[in-house]
A and B are shown apart, each in its own frame.
Chain A
Amino acid sequence: MDSTEHLQLIYIILAAAVATFVTRIGGYVMITQMKRIPPRMEAALNSVPAAVLSTLVAPAFVQGGWDVAASMLVGFAVGLRFSSLWMLLAGWLAVMALRHWML
């Protein structure tokens, strides 16, 4: 990375830090200013994290190759019952095993 790109990254991080702080103080500001959020807007806001994060999961599953897809399925199965730390461990073991013995 050259220095212009690196400076850009620093700006991204600082802008994201400000944006994050806005989310952390936003509810306090809103509750002292506004009465209530319209229900459809609230439903839309509620869906934001799952909607954004899904776009980081689905394409990786389709494009990452069969070993990545298989280990994601293992992680998914584990994640239905256990915490995400176990998901990560299971998925990681799966991909290491697949690459070691199958490729």
Chain B
Amino acid sequence: MIPMTTITTSAIPVSPALRILPEILLTVTGVLVMLIESVLAPNTSRKPLGVMAILGTLAALAASLYQLQLPAGTAFFGTVQSDAFSVFFHLVIGGIVLVTLLVSLDYFEGHTSYVGEYYALILFGAVGMMLMTSSVELLMVFISLEISSISTYILAGYRKRSATSPEASIKYFLLGSFATAFFLYGIALCFGATGSTNIYDIAKGVASGASPLLLTVAFGMMLIGIGFKVSLAPFHVWTPDVYEGAPAPVVGLMSTAPKAAAFAVLLRIAYGAYGTMTHVWMPLIWMLAVLSMTIGNLGALTQHNVKRMLAYSSIAHAGYLLVAFTALAPMGIAAASFYTAAYAAMNVGAFAIISYLSGYDEARTNLGDYAGIARRHPMAAAALAVFLISLIGIPFTAGFFGKFYVFTAAINSGNAWLAILGLLNSGVAAFYYLRLLGQMYMLPQEAGLAPDTIRARPSFVLGVAILVIAVFALGIFPNSALRLARAGAATFNVQHRIAAAAFPVARFER
């Protein structure tokens, strides 16, 4: 049971370091990994570093859980806030990073001489993503967004010998920097309108009704920036190319963790800072949701490459998630938070299995390559089937409850049309997921194939097992996750109390 009383600000001072404890632990582990990597002899296994990174992530997860015991509040002069909301996203991001490390423990070994740096980059990226979810100061959000983005740009280009991976990296980098510029410009306009970059001070400025025009333009800019990061249509063009080229375990990470963090930022900006201007941003979000769902699903129908298909499917899922934003505050926030967790479990899983089946050289990328694979690799096919079924949204899986909460939240807030469009889209989506399932189970395998030499390592099996359990746990017993998501959503209601206790924000007094 998550204590709901943690929302009230208490008089007992909490050490500021405790508010960013998970991030500190991850940074320290990342630096250690980086330093130890340089003293290890070349051509030795880097697995111990991976194990170290896994232990560091576990410690960060434990620290996030510990933060639940602390009263919600800000630290470092109102730049970060730890509350149930930040803890929820910390757990999601930490979980994704943990599983990604587990499934890729053997993936890069022997293929590149920068395996140690891979672990360090993942840890530093996680620091950025986690800080994004706990920032209540837009400058802090910006710097942590840059940390998370730059580490993913580099990770996308890790298969240097292939032609597509560096292409993915450079495309992602160029469009990502372009998007960050939009976000930064939005922050600047927000500062121009309210004289502050702190979420709570912006909320006061928005509520006072001064310069709504400038604030609207500022929100639009920030929405474009975040829209690029979470690949919403029409800002999605980079997604298929990048997902196709980047190494599969990295795609699993970057299609979920940075997106969860960016959605947390969007929730804080939309419901926290712009809470009194819902009539302005809801139509914008409505349009983006419809566009993303439709373009994502129609695009996925025409794809023959499995990674590209899942890229379009991730655009569609970002659209489903946006549907939650059109719901009223506590319900919408809880539904959106829950959906990020559900989506993370199934999508990381799907890419993990693809990375296992196609190997480092991406031998199996087309739909046809998956024909009859259930006979050769029954366990892997079964796991992929679970993730695909969850992506469709069939009951008793995480995907079902994610969609269920999102659409009921939308209907309860009077957005029945959006929910209907979403359901129609889910119907279309079922087609291309089932096509892959059919390939795996219905078709005979092609004759004359050389026997596979791939073997499942214990760490990989453990990672996939965690994901399968998570998919079913979120689908059958969603209550504990949902309770935490609701507690997180509730922190938005008492923001004025926290704001009263917060330190004055940084600004030049004129």
Partners in one complex: no
